[in-house]
């Protein structure tokens, strides 16, 4: 997903300025340690960091509590009207603190670490929501966000509804015998393919949609050699539709290693919006269905 970052500043000045700001804002915030908080004492002005976190707050009907979002929070459209404090992995403490939140709700993986450490040392309660790329991980997110906001009953209703939808989405591909081998390509730069291994949202989505990750043996995202791509033998190339400069199908299949695979021979390329595909939030069951239909067509059962 394309990130929108704040203007770069020297790390030392970021931390120095942030500490000064955090002390100023601390005088206006409830006192108390932020570590180990699970329920916000004052959830009236929430800074949401992470697209799925923002989506869950809206799905719970608690969007009135939001005072800011990060750059990965692109859905629903109404969220775009909120102040943008920067990309979740490139936060600056002063950007987050400038909206004067009473609490910060951040997805695991937010960073950089130095910025998050500064935010955690302020008196503003900070809750980090775990990220797991599976069915249960989505339900856990919903329940943690609901508890943080003091709306556990609403969160349980939403979690049960999502549980049913996710279970139904999984069943749609249970009868399929020949599983498609999918190569998720994060980027194509200088002819080099950056692909998704295990412990990634892409790997989780491919599995949930009844596919098989064509690559194995590494975690996260990694640049693959031509030999490794040929050996992976993907049937399908999967990409985000809105990540960085547009990459044409000709550019993808013009890569000699991809061209020699079953995906290259069939020119099978699936593009799906990144926030929708990889968000692991309230819309994930629908994304699973859409990806499954793209992979298997009429074989997908209702």
Extents of the domains making up the chain: 11-167, 181-299
CA atoms within 13 A on the CB side of 255: 27
Length of the chain, please? 302
Domains 11-167 and 181-299 share a fold: yes
Instruction: State which residues of the chain have pLDDT below 50.
Output: 1-34
64's CB contacts (< 8 A; 6+ apart) are none
State pLDDT tens for residues 103-119: 999 999 999 999 999 99
* Superfamily of chain region 181-299: Nitrogenase molybdenum iron protein domain (3.40.50.1980)
3-state secondary structure (DSSP) of residue 180: coil
In this structure, CATH architecture of domain 11-167: 3-Layer(aba) Sandwich (3.40)
Q: Are strands 46-49 and 181-189 parallel, antiparallel or unpaired?
A: unpaired
pTM of the entire predicted model: 0.86
Distance, CA of 185 to CA of 240 (rounded, Å): 8
State pLDDT tens for residues 147-178: 999 999 999 999 999 999 999 999 999 999 99
Tokens of 195: 């692909």
Tokens of 149: 């906001």
């Amino acid at each position: 997903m394309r990130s929108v970052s704040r203007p770069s500043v020297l790390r030392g000045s970021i931390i120095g300025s942030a500490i000064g700001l955090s002390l100023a804002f601390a005088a206006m915030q409830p006192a108390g340690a932020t570590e180990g908080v699970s329920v916000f004492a004052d959830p009236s002005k929430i800074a949401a960091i992470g697209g799925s976190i923002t989506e869950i707050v809206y799905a719970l009907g608690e969007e009135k509590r939001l005072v800011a979002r990060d750059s990965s929070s692109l859905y629903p459209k109404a969220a775009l009207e909120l102040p943008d404090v920067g990309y979740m992995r490139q936060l600056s403490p002063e950007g987050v603190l400038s909206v004067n939140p009473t609490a910060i709700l951040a997805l695991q993986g937010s960073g950089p670490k130095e910025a998050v450490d500064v935010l955690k040392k302020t008196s503003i309660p900070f809750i980090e929501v775990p990220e797991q790329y599976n069915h249960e991980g989505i339900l856990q997110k919903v329940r943690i966000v609901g508890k943080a906001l003091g709306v556990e009953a609403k969160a349980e209703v939403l979690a049960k509804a999502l549980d049913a939808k996710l279970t139904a989405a999984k069943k749609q591909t249970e009868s399929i015998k020949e599983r498609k081998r999918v190569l998720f390509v994060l980027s194509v730069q200088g002819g080099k393919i950056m692909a998704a291994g295990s412990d990634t949202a892409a790997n989780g989505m491919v599995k949930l949609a009844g596919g098989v990750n064509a690559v194995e043996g590494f975690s996260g995202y990694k640049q693959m050699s031509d030999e490794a791509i040929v050996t992976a033998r993907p049937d399908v190339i999967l990409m985000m539709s809105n990540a960085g400069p547009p990459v044409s199908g000709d550019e993808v299949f013009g890569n000699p290693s991809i061209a020699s695979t079953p995906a290259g021979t069939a020119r099978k390329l699936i593009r799906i919006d990144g926030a929708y595909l990889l968000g692991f939030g309230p819309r994930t069951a629908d994304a699973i269905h859409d990806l499954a239909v793209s992979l298997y067509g009429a074989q997908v059962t209702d």
